[in-house]
Structures are given as C-alpha cells and as structure tokens.
Structure 1
Amino acid sequence: MEEHHSTIQNHLNAIRNKVSDLTKQCIIKGIIVVQQSRGESGPGSEASVQLYSCSHIDPNTRKGKTSGKAKLKDGKTEKYSGIKITTYEIKFHVAEDFGIPGAFVIKNRHKHKFFLQSATLGVSGYKIVHFDCNSWIYPIRNTKTHRLFFSNTSYLPKETPKALVELRKEELTSLRGDGTGERKEWERIYDYDYYNDLGNPEKGPQHMRPVLGGSATYPYPRRGRTGRPRSNQDPLIESQTEGIKLDVYVPPDERLSPKKLSEIISNSIQATLHFLIPEAKSLFENDARSFESFDEIRDLFSSSRNQVLEGWVAEKVKSMVPPELYKKITHASKQNPMEFQLPQIIAENEFAWKDDVEFGRQMLAGTNPAVIQILEIFPPMSRSGVRSSIKRSHIEYNLDGLTLQKAMDQWRIFILDHHDYLMPFLNRICTKGVCAYASRTLLFLRDDDTLKPLAIELSWPGPSSGVEGHRVFLPSTQGTKAALWQLAKAHVAVNDSCHHQLISHWLKTHAVVEPFIIATRRQLSAMHPIHRLLDPHFKDTMHINALSRSVLIKSGGILEKILSTGEISMELSSALYKDWRFDEQGLPADLLKRRMALPNPDKPSGVQLLFEDYPYGADGLEIWVAIKTWVTNFCSVFYADDNSVRSDNEIQAWWSEIRNVGHGDKCAETWWYPMTTLTELIEALTTLIWTASALHAAVNFGQYGYAGYPPNRPTVCRKFIPNEGTLGFVEFLRDPDKYYLSMLPERFEMTLSVALVEVLSRHTLDEVYLGQRSSVEWTDSEQIHKVFKQFHENLQQVEKKISKRNINPNLKNRWGPAKIQYKLLNPDTSYVGVKEGITGKGIPNSISM
C-alpha cells in the first residue's frame, strides 16, 4: 500500500499549493479516498458530502455552519493489492465566515455500499484537516440517514467546540439504538446481549446449552446484540441456522475487511483440505480410528496428501457450507497442495516433547504461560478441604539436596494446578469415551532456572461429597515407570490445553474485551481522545468473536468436538469467570497474584521476577512498561489532573457501563477502580491494551508451534491410566507407545485440532502491529505524534533486549530441548502489514484472529 500513500501525498501537495487562493474564492478543496467492494461499482456523483464548521455556529441549528454540498465525481481509480481505490478531488463552496471544518456528512444514493477510507481538506491560513473514516457507507435507502464523521482532532467533552457539541451528542445517541428489533447489515447499533446463541434446541435436547450471562449460576461478559428471532423450542435462546454461518451481524465498522475475511476463509479451506479431507476418507475406507505410530502423525504435514474433494465427503461439505464457499472449496481442492511447515516442537528435535525439561519449560514459555504459580502450602489442599495425597517422601529426594521446607522458604516449589475447578465437572466430562482427571503438577526450580517436575497427582470424585480418589506419578527414565510417567504428563497436557483454549485464550482475551468495545462505541465519542487511543486495539474483535460463536464454541462446534470438556466447555468457562477480576489482569498484578514476582518500586514495572529466566514474564514486563509509558504520555496531553478525569462525563459513563452492563454480573464487586484519578484511568487503559495486544499474542500465535503436534499438547484422552493387574495394564505393557497413541484423540478429531491451530496461528496481510497505526495522519496532534514515535522506539529497544536474551546460553528456558526461541512477545516492529503466515512473533494491536 506504499504506492497508495504516495499517490495521496501528491494530492495533498497539490492542495497545499492552491490553499492561498481559497479564501478569496470562499472554496475549500480536498480529496476523498474510497474503496470499492469487489464486483460493485463506485459511488460517483450519487454520493454527496457537506461540511460542518467547528469554529462558527449557525444560530438556527445550534450546530456548525454548513458548506454547500459537493458530489464525488471524476475520481481516479487504481488497484493496490487487488483492491480498487478511487481518489476524488472535491470542492466545497462556503460562506466567508465558515471557518474551519470539523465534521462532514456523506449521503450515498448509489445502489451499492462502499468503504470510505479518508478525507483530507485544505483551509487557507490553517493546517490541513484530516479525517480517518474507515467505515462502510451504505445506501441511504437502507440507512434512511446520512453518515457523520469528525476530524482527527480530539477533544474532551468539556473542550468540544460549541459548533460540534450537538453533533457529538447526536452521534452517540444514534449508535445506542433502542434495544429492539433484529439488526440489519447496514445498522451501526451497539447493544449488549447474553450468550444465548450457543445452543440449538431445534436439533434436539443434546444441543441444549445454558444461557451464559445474567445469572449468578452462569455469569459471563456480554456480547454484541444481534436481535435474531428466538427459538420455537426455547424463548430464551436465539434461533440458529444449519451449517457454518459467516454473516452473523456485527456493526459495519467492526467487520473484517473483505480481503481479510477472504484470506481467513482461504487459509481455513487449505488447512481443511490438507489435514481433514484425507482423514475423512481414511476413516470411511478402513475405520482406522487411531494413529498407529508417531511417524504416521508426522506424515500429516507431508505435501503428498490427497486433498481432492469427492464422493460422500463432498456431499457432506456441500450440506454444511454456503454455496459460494463450497465453490471455493472445490476449486481449491483441484489446485496444487499447500506445503505445511512442521510444528516447531518437532522441527529440530522430534523427541524433545517427551523431555521433562521441555515439559516444565512450556509452563513458562509455551502457549499457556500464565497459570503456573508458587506452591505456598504443602501438601496442596482443595477449596473443599481435601488434602493432596502427594507426600514429602515422594519429592524430597529430588530437590537437589534441599529439604522441602528449605526449598519452599526459597520459593522454589511451583504448582500447575488444574484441580479445583475441574473436580465438580469430572463426572459430566467422563462420558462418550472421554477419560479425564483433575491434576496437580509439582515442580522444582533448579539453580539454572529450569523447572524439574517432581510429581503429578491425578484425582477423581469419590463416592460421596468431599471424598476423592488419587494416584501419584513420579518422574522416571526407565522401564514401566517411565512409560506411566509419560501417560500422566499427557493427562496434565490435556487439562492445560483445555484451560488454555477456553480460559486463557477465549475467556480472558476475546470474551472479556468485547464489552469494552461496545461501551467505547456507545459512550465515548469518536472525537474523544481515549476513543482514538483504544480504537486500533478493537479492530476486528467483534467479528472474530461472532465467527467463533458460529463455528467454534456453539453446540456441536469445533471446540466441543476436540476438547475433553466437550458439551460443558462454555459452562466451564463461565465457572472460571466467577474468579475473574479486571484489576488482576495487568501483568504485574497477575505475576504478584501467582507469586511469580515480588513488589519492587525501584523497577519500572513495580515488580521483580522471582527468577530471570521466565520468558513470558521477562518479555511481557518490557512490553507492559512500554505500553504504560505510552498511555501515561498520551493521557497527560489531555488530562491535567485527577479532577479532569472525574469531570469527564463520557469517561465516567463509559466506566459505569462497563461495570454495570458489559460485565454486569460483576457489578457488585468492590475491586473495580473507582475511576476518580488519572492513575486509575492509566492503569485501566494499560490493562485493556495489554490484554488486547500482548496477552492475546502470547496465548494465540504459538499454538501451531506447540499444539500442531498433538502428542505434545493433546486435547482429550480416551483412556485412563491402567492399574496393575488389569487387562488394560497388560495391553499397556505389551506396547507402551501404542497404548499412548490409542489414549490420544481419534485421528479425525486430532487432525481437526491441527487444522484449527494452523489457521489461528497465522498473521494476515492487513495486520497492524503494536506501535503502528494504519494511517500516518491518525491524529492531528503533533504532540501525540511525538510520544507515539517514542513508543515505537521503546518497542524497538524491547526487541533488541529480547534478541540478546535469546542468544544468552545461560537462559535455558528461551530455547529448551526443542530449540524453540521465545519470540511470542517480540513486537517485531519491522512489520508494516505486508508479511503473513506462521512466524511465532509480532504483536498485533488487537484480537483480530
């Protein structure tokens, strides 16, 4: 898109050259940039624009004076990366006392929608006025109204030019709607709803799912309201359509670009054809439900797999997807197969995933690195008071000469705890061939900062409340005990995989951020500086979440198919939302809660890691400090003191709505910031940006590298660990590796999980990364440009620090036995939206995948 920016710059220079003559002519000139939808014509003269002054009021309307209307005509169209972009030179006749334009309205009388990218105006004696629009303009026959845009100058509510006050109020009111009716594609309405669209009672009782949100039993963050009709079977549930639904309503400005949606669909098709179609055929032909060897799993990534879509598989796919999508799939199946890279976990050392050091390292640098915590009480005890069966004698011999008490005094005993939250659900999980335990894993921090596993306890509910069964497994490198230890690690990995996908990834990034987006659109004007600060961190999230509800998390969706938690997956995430606190989501607060760091006011982050070689913690704190410095500098431009925060009625309404509506099931909690000080605002904004950018990157983009090889991160076990004296134990002794493979998911579900993480781990071409903006002129404030440049430079320094850490031989957790560098929190500021694929690095601004 660099050529496109150059073209716009030439137009701007022409405007600047002519600006001195504009006053005499009472004319304002400018350019408007439009993207055409694929297969649709541009608006041309059927679209008209009218300016509002921000400096002079029309006494009759109490709004800014208006210009004459100007039509879009004689545009120059060029193609950039396959997208048609038309640049219109436009001229407005204005009164002599019109002043400076601060807003404009555009009416589209054309039959097609178009994407308005930007507008730039030249005003004599004043700087160029920029409008970053980035919005769909639908035909007025649909919308019944014009579309309003404000310039890139930000104002707190009290500082709004009088000429724009009414426009500011009207625009916010229009975005809120009245909470009724089914939303139409062209409506820009932001409202809240419960997760009442996950079940499908029309398909039978097996597809019933509870409504999440609005009750003490099933609390949940709110989602964007669609207003779809209710099910005939259950008036609390929104009706569903069969198959994959890609057109779930989200407000137009939250929608994925056609190019990005096409790219995601293309990636999904290729992954499906490569991984799933051959397995579907194999399953039909020979009923081979398990992989017979690890080599057979490795062959999943071979480019020789047959991906032609035919026969009953083709008919099944045809019944599940829209006709247009089916055409794309059949076309892609006839192309040359894509080459899929080996997941990093087996690329350098195909057996490293079995190593105990790698097992521990992934708790610090893998896809779920924010769960491990210090063990404070031995033996561990459940909330219900049931003690763990791990004994001192089980582990004390393995503490490198320390006593257990000494190791705990030195904060060197850690726990990966998947016990308490799973135990109440286990009886419901262990159905339909699923075999699951609750688990506790104890680890010891060695002198070289690597983690040595000490013991795994697997537990299950006993015959009565408060009674549990337990088995303890100890690390071993020889014979039967070593093989049993591998089985125990697999069960731990299943629990961690489910927690990662449902809690760390979906709940704590995707789901909890959506209410913030809705509240921002409803309560913060587009000209509010905090709206401008947050806007890039919300890109595509609502649409990705809507697609997730349609494909991944609904009844019968992909996650129910591949996770051991199956049909109760979302119910489980609701149970863990009960423990969610916004004030603990910032990285320093999270580290302190898990005792992975200690308070240290002398550190920029305010905390000191317990040990240096915690890749997620070390790199994350660098990113956290960079974000917080940027947010602090940004806010200081607009807020002079605490009183300016308290008196900002839009910020106060925003925060109140987040607490009382968006996260309404948590409204009574006392931990919410009062939002009465600048410090509280900065902390809240830093936490939100961290969650949407760095935290999501850390838990999302490494998925293929680790979980792309299912033996390393299985998502379900189909067998319990056999007891001595049983037929299962005989089967296990006969061939431990074969038993391990037969315990893993069936081959079709396994390949489905590989296809999913391959798609989720990809960066798309139009991604905008932390420290970047999609437009050079995103703000008219030179001061903000200056501090944003400093933010970018700070991130470049973080990159250099990460690179140095990754070549430091003393930091063993940065590579591990699998030889995977930790780059998930590498900002990679070289990205300019032109790279794609599975890179294992780069922090997108938003949860856009």
Structure 2
Amino acid sequence: MMTSCQEFEVTVHTSPGPTCGTFNHLWLRLIGSQSETPPICVTQGSHLLSGSTCLVSIRSNDPLGQLVLVQLRLEAHTGFPNLDWHCSRVEVRHVVDGTDDSQTQMFLCDRWLKTADGDIELRSGKLCLLAEETEDKLKQHRLKQLQHQQQLIRWRSFVDGAPQCADFSSMSELGPNLSYTHKSPPIDVHYLKGFAGRTQAWTSFSELETVFAHSGNQNNIARFVKANWKEDWYFGYQCLNGCNPLLIHQISLIPSNLAVTSDMLRPFLPGGSSLKQELQKGTIYLLDYEILDGIPANLVNGNQTYLSAPLCLLHLNQQGEMVPIAIQLLQNPGPHNPVFLPSDSSCDWLLAKIWVHNADFQCHQLISHYMKTHMIAELCCVATLRQLPDQHPLHQLLMPHVKTSLQINLQARASLLAAKGVFDQAVSSGLKTIPVLLSRAAARTRYRSLCVPDDVADRGVDKLPHSYYAQDALRVWDTLYRFVCSWVELYYRTDKHVQNDCELQNWICDINTHGFSGDSGFPSSFHTKAEVSKFVTMLIYSCSALHAAVNFSQLDFALWMPNCPGTMMQPPPQVKGQITEDDIVSFLPDANAACRVVMTLTMLSQPGLDFIPLCDYREAIFRTEDHHELVQKVRAELKAISDDITERNSQLPLPYPYLCPSGIDNSVAI
C-alpha cells in the first residue's frame, strides 16, 4: 500500500542589511519527529540577495510527524567569494491538495551563517525550559548546541583570582555573530596629541590652563569642575556624583589606623557637637583606599611614580554638603604620615585632596569600571553561551546586554591593558600593578555591592539629597527589576520550576566557578523566582546603567587634569607646611602622560553613533506578543525617568546626566 507524500512550501528570508546576501549555495532539510527529508538546494535558479526571499517546495515520501527542525548548510560557490550570509528566518507551510493544512511555522535564525559552520539547525516555537520540551529531538538539539558551544568557547584566566574571560586571542576567532562594528563620532584631540614628545613636567598651573582653554573649555561640566575643584563642597560632590560614586560610605566607628581625635576635628563640626555625636547621627563618611596599600607603582617616562592608600574622612554638614575634614595619605599612622586638615595651609590641603583623586583614579579605572562592568559582562556572556541554549528564555534576555563584551574586552586586553598601552606608559597602575589590584578587588567584592538597593543603603547614600547617582540608580534598577520579574514570570510558574531547571543551575555554577571568591555572597544556586530576578537585574544593570555612570562621565571630570591625575611624580609629603603652588605642579603627571590619558578618555567617553539605548531591543524574539508588551512597558517607564532627569538637571548648576536612560547604552560596547 502506497503512502501519500507530504508537501511543504518553504520560504527562506535573507536579512535586509546591505551585506547580508551571499554568492554561496544553500542546502535545506526538514527534520520531523519521525523522519527527515533529503537535503535540497534552495539556490537552484535563485540567489540569496539582501532582503530577498527564496521559495522552494519540498516533498517527503515518508511521514515526518511533527516538524521540529530546519537544517541549513552553506556551500561555497566555486569561482565566487565565500561570503557569510545573514538569515532572518525560514517559514514552512504544510500543503494538502493545494491548500494550507496548518499555520505557517516560523523558524527564527537572525544570525550570520558561514560555510565552515556545517549543518545549522533552527527550531520553531516559543522559548521554553528544558523540562517543557516534549520532543526527544528537541532535547537532543539543546544538548548538542551546548556541547558545541563549550568546545568553541572556553574559559581563560586574564588575572589569577579575578573573574575569567573567553579564551580568544584574535578578533577573527569571535566570528560574525559575536563581533560588532562601533561607529564612533569624530573626536577632537588636535591640541593634545602634539604633547606626545614632551616627557617633562608642567611648569605651572598657567600651562595647564592654556591647554584646557584649547581642549576642554567647550565642555560645560569640565568648566564647572575647573572653576570649583579646590572647594571642599565640590570634592564631596564628586565623591557622590563623579565618575566613581561607588566608594564613599557611612561609618559609625573611626578606623583604628586613622590618627584623628575628637579635639582635632571639633573645629570642622557643628558648634556644640562632637565627633562621637556626629558618628551617632550618621553624618560621618569615609573613603578608604586600603586596597592600594603596598602595591608597586609604575615607571613613566623612565621615572618612578607613586601610589598612596589614603583614608579620607568626610562630614555631611548642616547645609547638606559632603565635605572632607581629614585626610591621611598612608594606611599606617606615624610621625611621617600626618593627618591633613582643612585648617592647614591651602597648598597642603589641596595636595592632600589631589592624592585622594589619584588613588580614586586607579580604583575607578580598574575596579569600578573594568572589573564591575567589563569583566562581569564577559563572565556572564561566556557562561550564558556555554550553559543556556538559544531557546532558554534567559539566554535571549541577556545576550543583547552582554554579547559586545567579548570584542571590547579582547581589544582592551590587547591595547589599553597591554605593553605600550596607556596603563603601561601613562598611569601609576602599570602592568605589574594591574593583576595585584584586580585580584585584591575580586577577593573583596560582595554580591550586595553589585545590587543597587543593597549597595546604596549599606553605604548610607540612598537618602542624601544631593546623591544624584544613588537617586537615579535606584529608579533605573527598580524599573529593570520589574521588567525582569515579568519576564521570569512568563517561564517559571513556581519556585519549583526554578529549582528544577538544570540549565539555569549549571549557569550560575559556571559563573561562580569562574567568577568571584566563594565567600562573595553570590548565590551558589537558585531557589526562587525572586533570586533569579535579582541576579539577572544585577547583570543587566552592571552592563548598561553602571557602565554608563562610570564610563561616559570620565572625560568631564578629567579634562581639568589636576582634578583626576593618573600618576603622581613625587612621594606623599611626610611633613606639613613646606608645599607651595609650584611644588604641587611637580607632583602632577608629565605633560605627555597627562595628555595621553585625556586622549584615551576622550575616545572612551563618546557613545557610538549607532548605540542602542537601554532596553531598545532589536532582536526578533522581542517582537513576539508576550515579549513585545513587556518591552513596551519598560521603555515607557524608562522614558518617564529620562523626562524627570532632564527636568531636574535643567534646574541644577551642575547636571547629573549619566543615568538618563535615553543615553544609557544597552551593553558594554566601548
């Protein structure tokens, strides 16, 4: 008895980009739960042109059962360039007696395919957890994809003790799906690059003012910084709202190694109050750069540079200003490590604050910026590619936020952080310093410090009237958290579904194994939907909003070079009363080093012309009905935050624009 054949109408869609087409041949096979069709050449008589569709009819003499996969394979066209092809999707209709038997099945691709890929299998249907797969072939497909990814993408240690990175050594290894193009706006370093050959120190503040007049005077925030950088209220403002707002924290006890007394500080506290009373009221804050203690400093232009590990005590005064009241430049108290006070000579006090800025520069660049955004993004990206298959809902949610980290970090390790890079040649944290500092920082990192509500509450900055970073960060975090919770609710009906998701548990295990230390407080496994939502929110925030706050603010605060020195060329002073203004200049970076740092920050602080705003997802999966509704809602909430921040900033003498969602990049792309 003969079995009637099945007929399918297949439409292959090439993405519309100008380079998405290819000369290559395409072979296609339908895979069902019971059998599969022989491969057929789709390009017989047609071409894979950008934005085009190719229609082909396929007949199967054996029942396929449930159609579960479409297999694609590119084959080089002899005599023609072997170009990659960007496939949008494949649509399949089952035709019976010339009519539709069912709805069109859509098999999303939305990626580049290469001849070297061999057979690529696409699946249809909604995102789902492994436990919800009903077809054995789809379960096998998930497993096979992860096995392939784990062979392709391996872990490597960049710095012992710090979060690991992807084991790629060249851009070509990333392939087209993990690389991207960054269209940078033109940058103006015309007046800075000519200092490359000047290895000597600046001779006066007048020289620095001349350079600023040409290179920084067009920047409104930088002009404000230059006009106010010596003021104590501005110093405190920068601790709260500068490019490194993550260190200042409230204290209830004075550190035992900070040699201050109540009598010493009484002149800088409200009349009738004492240090003990102010500590009890919660108005005393601390910057502690202990992490820099004993770290070797770099040679720049063949000259020794210097690092200090200051402790800086601050007071929230009755005017609501955060002002410094004591600075000790080294961790161990002693006769050659004086405590500098606001009542000291103006030059002594200013130099002490500059030393704090220099210490902050090192911690900002390598910890708050590189480790807490770039390294975390790559850690998450590698674990996601290795442990969560494409069909997993968290894979699709996270990849738009983390994918770019592989390329930008590979480039950073090969340039900025490498021999002859800016750290090697212009910063006190040189090549010997970087691994020590990153390893120490990773060992001290706690999960709570990466979660905004916990972090700002623990540091006592959540309710300060002028802590704009904390205010804006809380609003952005809360909006992202609600969005992530809604996404998680779509796929995890109960906490039991979280506990039973072995792919999810393998993912967090991979992150812990290759991430921070065991006592970091990172969840070792997930037990509830709330735990998953908080962790995913932390990742998205770190890769987008936090990166915006610590990266795109850099240039504004560094254009006036004494405010953000990358090196100090003299050791910390051991006595008071011997420093003049000319002496201060001799501590500052040499001319070529200072200008190289500013040129680097100019490049890093420019959002790409093609940057993607936070939650402005371009991937097709976010246009499906359930996802589209969630995305529209979070975009509307972020738009409201942008409007509020814009209105607030219009009333401020110094605006805080860095967490305005309309300017937050969706990922770490620069």
Per-residue CA deviations over 1:771-799 (Å, capped at 9, x if unaligned) read: 21124x33464112111111111111222
1:250 and 2:174 matched: yes
CA distance in 1, matches of 2:560, 2:201: 17
Matched residue SS, 2:444: coil
CA distance in 1, matches of 2:86, 2:447: 36
Mapping 1:400-419, distance limit 5 Å: 400-401=270-271, 402-418=273-289
CA distance in 1, matches of 2:568, 2:359: 10
Per-residue CA deviations over 1:448-472 (Å, capped at 9, x if unaligned) read: 432122121112668xxxx784211
1:147 and 2:125 matched: no
CA distance in 2, matches of 1:377, 1:668: 24
Matched residue SS, 1:342: coil
- Aligned partners of 1:152 and 1:527 also within 8 Å: no
Q: CA deviation at 1:671?
A: 4.8
CA distance in 2, matches of 1:696, 1:427: 26
Q: CA deviation at 1:506?
A: 0.7
CA distance in 2, matches of 1:745, 1:72: 66
Q: Select the residue among 659, 666, 670 that pairs with 1:825.
A: 659
1:616 maps to which residue?
Answer: 469
CA distance in 1, matches of 2:89, 2:547: 33
- Aligned partners of 1:390 and 1:457 also within 8 Å: no
2:97 maps to which residue?
Answer: none
Q: CA deviation at 1:708?
A: 2.6
Per-residue CA deviations over 1:727-786 (Å, capped at 9, x if unaligned) read: xx3xx44xx1x32222110000001100111111111122212121124x3346411211
Q: CA deviation at 1:658?
A: 1.5
2:316 maps to which residue?
Answer: 445
Q: Select the residue among 546, 549, 555 that pairs with 1:704.
A: 555
1:131 maps to which residue?
Answer: 108
- Aligned partners of 2:649 and 2:655 also within 8 Å: yes
CA distance in 2, matches of 1:157, 1:432: 59
1:27 maps to which residue?
Answer: 9
Bigger drift between 499-508 and 579-588 goes to 579-588
* Distance 1:454-1:103 versus aligned 2 partners, 3 A rule: farther
CA distance in 2, matches of 1:72, 1:687: 49
Bigger drift between 482-491 and 452-461 goes to 452-461
CA distance in 1, matches of 2:569, 2:439: 25
Q: Select the residue among 434, 439, 448 that pairs with 1:574.
A: 439
Q: CA deviation at 1:27?
A: 1.3
2:57 maps to which residue?
Answer: 93
Per-residue CA deviations over 1:530-571 (Å, capped at 9, x if unaligned) read: 100101111310111111110111244312322222231232
CA distance in 2, matches of 1:516, 1:273: 38
Q: CA deviation at 1:428?
A: 8.2
1:360 maps to which residue?
Answer: 236
Per-residue CA deviations over 1:367-389 (Å, capped at 9, x if unaligned) read: 000110002212x22xxxxx211
Instruction: Give the partner amino acid of 2:602.
Output: E
Q: CA deviation at 1:128?
A: 6.8
1:316 maps to which residue?
Answer: none
- Aligned partners of 1:583 and 1:672 also within 8 Å: no
* Distance 1:372-1:561 versus aligned 2 partners, 3 A rule: same
- Aligned partners of 2:11 and 2:53 also within 8 Å: yes
Instruction: Give the partner amino acid of 2:266.
Output: E
1:156 maps to which residue?
Answer: 129
Ranked by relative contact order (alpha carbons within 8 Å, sequence separation 6 or more), the top structure is 2
CA distance in 2, matches of 1:725, 1:364: 28
Q: CA deviation at 1:92?
A: 2.9
Per-residue CA deviations over 1:107-133 (Å, capped at 9, x if unaligned) read: 141443325152253645425726252
Instruction: Name stretches of at least 5 consecutive residues in structure 1 with no aligned partner.
Output: 1-22, 78-85, 178-188, 196-211, 214-218, 229-245, 304-339, 382-386, 597-608, 809-814, 829-841
* Distance 1:170-1:25 versus aligned 2 partners, 3 A rule: closer
- Aligned partners of 1:412 and 1:444 also within 8 Å: yes
Instruction: Give the partner amino acid of 1:159.
Output: E
Q: CA deviation at 1:503?
A: 0.6
Q: Select the residue among 625, 630, 652 that pairs with 2:478.
A: 625
CA distance in 2, matches of 1:32, 1:369: 46
- Aligned partners of 2:270 and 2:318 also within 8 Å: no
Instruction: Give the partner amino acid of 1:686.
Output: T
Q: CA deviation at 1:248?
A: 7.0
How high is the sequence identity, in percent, across the aligned residues? 22
Mapping 1:35-434, distance limit 5 Å: 35=17, 42-44=21-23, 46-50=24-28, 52=30, 56-59=32-35, 68-71=40-43, 86-95=50-59, 103-110=70-77, 111-116=81-86, 118-119=88-89, 121=91, 123=93, 124=100, 125-126=102-103, 129=106, 131-135=108-112, 137-140=113-116, 143=117, 145-151=118-124, 153-162=126-135, 163-177=137-151, 189-195=152-158, 212-213=159-160, 219-226=161-168, 247=171, 249-257=173-181, 260=182, 263=183, 275-276=192-193, 278-281=194-197, 283=198, 288-290=200-202, 292-299=204-211, 302=214, 342-348=218-224, 350-378=226-254, 380-381=255-256, 387-401=257-271, 402-418=273-289, 420-425=290-295, 432-434=303-305
Instruction: Give the partner amino acid of 2:277.
Output: K
CA distance in 2, matches of 1:429, 1:408: 41
Instruction: Name stretches of at least 5 consecutive residues in structure 2 with no aligned partner.
Output: 94-99
Q: CA deviation at 1:296?
A: 4.2
Q: Select the residue among 457, 463, 483 that pairs with 1:592.
A: 457
Per-residue CA deviations over 1:173-226 (Å, capped at 9, x if unaligned) read: 11111xxxxxxxxxxx1110111xxxxxxxxxxxxxxxx22xxxxx11111113
1:659 and 2:525 matched: no
TM-score by length of 2: 0.89
* Distance 1:105-1:25 versus aligned 2 partners, 3 A rule: closer
Q: CA deviation at 1:582?
A: 3.0
Per-residue CA deviations over 1:498-538 (Å, capped at 9, x if unaligned) read: 10001100111111332221111011111111100101111
- Aligned partners of 1:132 and 1:778 also within 8 Å: no
* Distance 1:588-1:499 versus aligned 2 partners, 3 A rule: same
Instruction: Give the partner amino acid of 2:163.
Output: P
CA distance in 1, matches of 2:349, 2:202: 21
Q: CA deviation at 1:151?
A: 4.6
Per-residue CA deviations over 1:798-820 (Å, capped at 9, x if unaligned) read: 22332343345xxxxxx4xxx43
**What RMSD, in angstroms, separates the aligned Cα atoms of the two structures?**
3.1
Instruction: Give the partner amino acid of 1:820.
Output: L
CA distance in 2, matches of 1:396, 1:106: 77
- Aligned partners of 1:538 and 1:692 also within 8 Å: yes
CA distance in 1, matches of 2:403, 2:484: 18
Q: CA deviation at 1:360?
A: 0.7
Q: Select the residue among 412, 430, 439 that pairs with 1:548.
A: 412
* Distance 1:108-1:486 versus aligned 2 partners, 3 A rule: farther
Per-residue CA deviations over 1:430-454 (Å, capped at 9, x if unaligned) read: 9943133221111111234321221
Q: CA deviation at 1:75?
A: 5.4
1:847 maps to which residue?
Answer: 668
Q: CA deviation at 1:575?
A: 1.2
CA distance in 1, matches of 2:593, 2:59: 68
Matched residue pairs, number?
Answer: 649
TM-score by length of 1: 0.71
CA distance in 1, matches of 2:413, 2:76: 34
CA distance in 2, matches of 1:394, 1:52: 81
* Distance 1:415-1:723 versus aligned 2 partners, 3 A rule: closer
1:787 and 2:652 matched: no
Q: Select the residue among 572, 585, 607 that pairs with 1:763.
A: 607
Q: CA deviation at 1:152?
A: 7.2
2:503 maps to which residue?
Answer: 650
CA distance in 2, matches of 1:349, 1:513: 31
CA distance in 2, matches of 1:796, 1:272: 33
Q: CA deviation at 1:94?
A: 3.1
- Aligned partners of 1:523 and 1:653 also within 8 Å: yes
* Distance 1:447-1:526 versus aligned 2 partners, 3 A rule: same
- Aligned partners of 1:248 and 1:547 also within 8 Å: no
Matched residue SS, 2:234: helix
1:484 and 2:401 matched: no
